[in-house]
Amino acid sequence: MATSDDFGDIITRSARLWKENLVDLVFLSLVFLLVVWIPIANVGFIAGYTRAILAVARGGKARVGDIFGSWDCFGDLFLYLIIVLAAQFVLNHLPFLGQVAGLILSIVVTPGMYAIIDGRMKFMDAFSWSFQAVRGDFVNWLLAVLVGAIFSGCGALLLGIGIIITLAWGSLLVALQYDRGQPPRVIIL
């Protein structure tokens, strides 16, 4: 089981990676934010952005072309997100406890989204693996998702435009948490 020291290391590493790759990440985030509003296609763009962030987390470079080249996981990611959005919709109509349950659901499904994008996991397997990953390291997943959202959202406080700068920092934080306990990857020959 991970400790809070592990999460402190993740924050330090995400800040270092963010600073070292700031120009590339700002450009990546700008392009992503320009295209992510396109319905249905945004699922593919989210996959591409996530793969670019994972590349940086693993010591590579952020490439804008990744945003447009990650359609291989589209079907499973689309189904995964539709099921999550439907559940969130239902939960948001329940007073108070629905919002708390929605927040917990957001934390529980985050690793599965990464597993579909990174490991090409099938959407039903991703739900199961995601639940197991969070159950095995709940505190660090809770911190990664919440602190990642805070880091990403800080830029929105600067007239909204600052999110171009901060979105990648929060995304790196979650990507590093995912890499700590990722599932085996599917090898496609």
Q: How many residues does the chain have?
A: 189
Query: In 10 A of CB 135, how many CB atoms?
Result: 10
Amino acid in position 43? V
Query: pLDDT (tens digit, 9 = 90+) per residue, 62-112?
Result: 999 999 999 999 999 999 999 999 999 999 998 888 989 999 999 999 999
Contacts 24+ apart (CB under 8 A), 62-65: 62/21, 62/24, 62/25, 62/27, 62/28, 62/168, 63/28, 64/27, 64/28, 64/31
Please report, in tens digits, the pLDDT of each residue of the chain (189 residues total). 455 558 999 999 999 999 999 999 999 999 999 999 999 999 999 999 999 999 999 999 999 999 999 999 999 999 999 999 999 999 999 888 898 999 999 999 999 999 999 989 999 999 999 999 999 999 999 999 999 999 988 888 876 788 899 999 999 999 999 998 766 555 444
120 three-class SS? coil
Which of 123, 104, 130 has the alpha carbon at shortest distance from 183? 130
Angle between helices 97-119 and 74-92 (to 10 degrees): 180
Cα–Cα distance for residue pair 66/1, rounded to 1 Å: 33
Which of 45, 10, 11 has the alpha carbon at shortest distance from 28? 45
- The residue extents of the domains of the chain are 4-180
